[in-house]
């Protein structure tokens, strides 16, 4: 396994590594003892060379014509991605999306434990949500500092996202997972990962419309000759 400071891997590769792990979980449940780059690539429609390159970037080496022992590869990926070193996190914005994330139990398996939430709604602050205490936003910096928390999740409206990020930075947060549709201004030492649901939906609907337009065109091309043939036949009969 590569030491932490020598890890240099793109976001795209990190996302693929997470996808590989999901595939490995399914294979493990099916009783598969070993797996190859070709096997993973076949499931995800990726070139084996890409899969092999991603895995090699983590410092894991497989055996030619044998591949990787599946449980070992899973554990190595988990270690590399930091999933076996659970990090506590705070969440700001306990609305519909925030509540859903707060209640998502699998985050603990992926190395993140949301220990508290913050919301300006008096009906939520002072209560528990999915077993986690909800506080008013002004308590965030002190809470994060006292509990040595370095990871924050923002699911607030865009209008208060920057103020929320400022509170997180003041509390020593070093990485922010941002679901608000706004660009955050933070110091260079703070890592921000934006999850823009608007962009994702726009991309999805555009690709859907493009696919459906192609299908309509294909149907039109197939049906047109048949319609012309009927017209010609009617003309000849006449």
Does 25 reside within a domain? Answer: yes
Q: Distance of alpha carbon 10 from its chain centroid, rounded?
A: 14
Task: For residues 58 and 116, state if they share a domain.
Answer: no
Predicted TM-score of the model (pTM)? 0.66
pLDDT tens for the chain, 238 residues long, are 444 444 578 889 999 999 999 999 889 888 889 999 999 999 999 999 999 999 998 888 777 777 899 888 988 898 888 877 678 999 999 999 999 999 998 898 888 999 999 999 999 999 999 999 999 999 999 999 999 899 999 999 999 999 999 999 999 899 999 999 999 999 988 999 999 777 778 888 888 888 888 888 888 877 766 555 555 455 445 5
Task: For residues 92 and 43, state if they share a domain.
Answer: no
**Which one, of 71, 73, 70, lies nearest residue 61 by Cα?**
73
Task: For residues 130 and 73, state if they share a domain.
Answer: no
CA dist., res. 24 & res. 16, Å (int) = 12
Q: The domain containing residue 188 runs over which residues?
A: 87-195
Does 206 reside within a domain? Answer: no
Task: For residues 29 and 76, state if they share a domain.
Answer: yes
Domain count along the chain:
2
Domain end (from 81, 111, 139): 81
Task: For residues 91 and 71, state if they share a domain.
Answer: no
Task: For residues 28 and 93, state if they share a domain.
Answer: no
E strands in 159-200: 175-178, 191-194
Q: Which CATH number covers residue 61?
A: 1.10.10.10
Task: For residues 26 and 124, state if they share a domain.
Answer: no
CA dist., res. 25 & res. 211, Å (int) = 31
CA dist., res. 51 & res. 143, Å (int) = 41
Rg of the chain over CA atoms, in angstroms?
Answer: 25
Task: For residues 76 and 91, state if they share a domain.
Answer: no
Task: For residues 72 and 99, state if they share a domain.
Answer: no
Residues with Cβ within 8 Å of residue 109, at least 6 apart in sequence: 83
CA dist., res. 160 & res. 163, Å (int) = 5
Task: For residues 93 and 191, state if they share a domain.
Answer: yes
| Token output for 180 | 């608000």
CA dist., res. 149 & res. 18, Å (int) = 24
Task: For residues 125 and 172, state if they share a domain.
Answer: yes
Task: For residues 67 and 103, state if they share a domain.
Answer: no
Does 187 reside within a domain? Answer: yes
């Amino acid at each position: 396994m590569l030491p932490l400071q020598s890890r240099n891997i793109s976001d795209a590769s990190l996302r693929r590594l997470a996808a590989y792990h999901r595939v490995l979980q399914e294979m493990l449940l099916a009783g598969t003892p070993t797996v190859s780059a070709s096997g993973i690539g076949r499931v995800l429609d990726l070139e084996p060379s890409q899969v092999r390159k991603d895995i090699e970037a983590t410092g894991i080496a497989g055996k030619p014509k044998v591949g990787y022992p599946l449980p070992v590869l899973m554990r190595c990926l988990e270690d590399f991605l930091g999933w076996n070193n659970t990090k506590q996190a705070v969440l700001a914005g306990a609305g519909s999306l925030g509540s859903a994330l707060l209640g998502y139990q699998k985050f603990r398996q992926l190395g993140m434990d949301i220990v508290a939430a913050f919301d300006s709604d008096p009906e939520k602050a002072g209560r528990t949500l999915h077993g986690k205490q909800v506080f008013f936003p002004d308590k965030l910096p002190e809470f994060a500092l006292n509990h040595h928390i370095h990871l924050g999740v923002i699911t607030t409206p865009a209008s208060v996202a920057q103020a929320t990020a400022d509170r997180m930075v003041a509390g020593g947060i070093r990485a922010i997972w941002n679901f608000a549709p706004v660009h955050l201004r933070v110091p260079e030492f703070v890592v921000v990962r934006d999850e823009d649901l608007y962009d994702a939906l726009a991309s999805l609907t555009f690709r859907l419309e493009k696919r459906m337009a192609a299908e309509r065109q294909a149907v039109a091309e197939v049906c047109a000759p048949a319609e012309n043939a009927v017209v010609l036949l009617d003309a000849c009969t006449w």
